[in-house]
């Protein structure tokens, strides 16, 4: 029979590389979708990525574009500097929950407030992955981590932070949406949102942020499939999916 290709590795996925991510880690899904977006929009040669500090610190090994490494949390400031000097190029940050919501809290708020014409992809897996499973600002109440061994207690450690809800109160941002990488049914929205966040930058619409509820099977102590279920059962009720801000 004559066949057509429905799905293959994206062109901008680095050839012959094995990722260092844990089995089932949703970083791979988001990276792959970023590559698909870059291929579909034809922007490989004009896009620069900013690598965070976290499990995705070496994401430049997987996505074949220019890259700048940023100190922990500072990616929105690095992106701002880059974009102000080269507005004719595209830039995106890719940040975990520690990077964006903890050490980088000031930088993300101000980049959003200035409506910097950048794309931010926020990977929220409610834990610090790379450093071995400590509490994140987005860790849920009662969730056990290596620094909240009895479960997160708001009296001691404060409450989980809803970044989309906070940033939407600012006038600056053009587009804020929360999606998930956990279940097959979530993936079309994830792709649509990431593509929109890049298209917005091409169209000079201003600050775009996509929060992606993600898994961390290793530090949650669950299988990949169970982790995906946990996102649905425990994370989505606290971090509802949806559109928070849209310039359109």
Give me the least distance between CB of 231 and another protein, in Å please: 12
Dihedral (Cα; 101, 26, 241, 57), 10-degree rounding:
20
Nearer to another protein by Cβ, of 184 and 237: the residue is 184
- Strand 66-69 relative to strand 47-51, pairing: parallel
Q: Which is nearer to another protein, 187 or 243 (CB)?
A: 187
Q: How far is the CB of 220 from another protein (least distance, A)?
A: 14
* Residue ranges binding another protein (CB under 8 A): 1-10, 13, 18-19, 21-29, 32, 35, 44-46, 48, 50-51, 57-58, 60, 64-71, 74, 77-86, 89, 91, 106-107, 109-110, 114, 184, 187, 223-225, 228
What is the Cα–Cα distance from 56 to 36, expressed in whole angstroms?
18
User: What is the token pair recorded at 206?
Assistant: 């201003």
Specify the residue, 93 or 138, whose C-beta has the smaller distance to another protein. 93
Measured from the CB atom, is 105 or 236 closer to another protein? Answer: 105
CB 5 → another protein: shortest distance, Å? 6
Q: CB-wise, 22 or 41, nearer to another protein?
A: 22
Alpha carbon distance 142, 201 (integer Å): 38
Write out the two tokens for 128: 């610090």
Which is nearer to another protein, 85 or 149 (by Cβ)? 85
Q: How far is the CB of 205 from another protein (least distance, A)?
A: 19
User: Helix (H, G, I), strand (E, B), or coil: what is residue 39?
Assistant: helix
The vertex-69 CA angle with 135 and 194, nearest 5°, equals: 75
- Cα–Cα distance between 65 and 78 in angstroms, integer? 17
Rounded to a whole number of angstroms, the minimum distance from the CB of residue 102 to another protein is 14
CB of 86 to another protein, least distance (A): 5
Three-class HEC string of 136-181: CCCCCECCCECCECCCECHHHHCCCCCHHHHHCCCCCCCEEEEEEC
- C-beta closer to another protein: residue 58 or 202: 58
Shortest distance, position 224 Cβ to another protein, whole Å: 4
Tell me, what DSSP letter sits at residue 102? I
Kind of pairing between the strands at 66-69 and 90-96: unpaired
Q: CA of 20: how far to CAs of 59, 159, 188, 215, in Å?
A: 9, 31, 25, 15
- Please give the Cα distance from 177 to 164 (Å, whole number): 7
């Amino acid at each position: 029979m004559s066949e057509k290709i429905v799905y293959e590795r994206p062109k901008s996925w680095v050839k012959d590389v094995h990722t260092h991510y844990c089995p089932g880690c949703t970083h791979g899904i988001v990276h792959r979708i970023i590559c698909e977006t870059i291929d579909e929009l034809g922007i490989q040669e004009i896009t620069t990525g900013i690598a965070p500090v976290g499990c995705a610190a070496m994401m430049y090994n997987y996505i074949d574009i220019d890259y700048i490494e940023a100190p922990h949390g500072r990616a929105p400031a690095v992106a701002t500097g880059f974009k102000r000097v080269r507005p004719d190029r595209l830039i995106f940050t890719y940040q975990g929950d520690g990077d964006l919501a903890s050490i980088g809290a000031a930088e993300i708020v101000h980049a959003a407030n200035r409506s910097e014409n950048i794309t931010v992809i926020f990977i929220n897996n409610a834990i610090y992955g790379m450093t071995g499973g400590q509490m994140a600002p987005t860790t849920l109440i009662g969730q056990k981590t290596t620094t909240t061994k009895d479960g997160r207690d708001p009296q001691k450690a404060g409450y989980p932070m809803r970044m989309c809800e906070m940033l939407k109160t600012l006038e600056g941002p053009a587009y804020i949406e929360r999606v998930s990488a956990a279940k097959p049914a979530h993936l079309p929205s994830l792709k649509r949102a990431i593509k929109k966040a890049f298209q917005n930058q091409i169209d000079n619409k201003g600050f775009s942020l996509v929060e992606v509820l993600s898994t961390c099977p290793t530090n949650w102590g669950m299988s990949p499939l169970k982790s995906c279920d946990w996102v649905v059962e425990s994370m989505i009720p606290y971090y509802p999916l949806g559109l928070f801000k849209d310039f359109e």
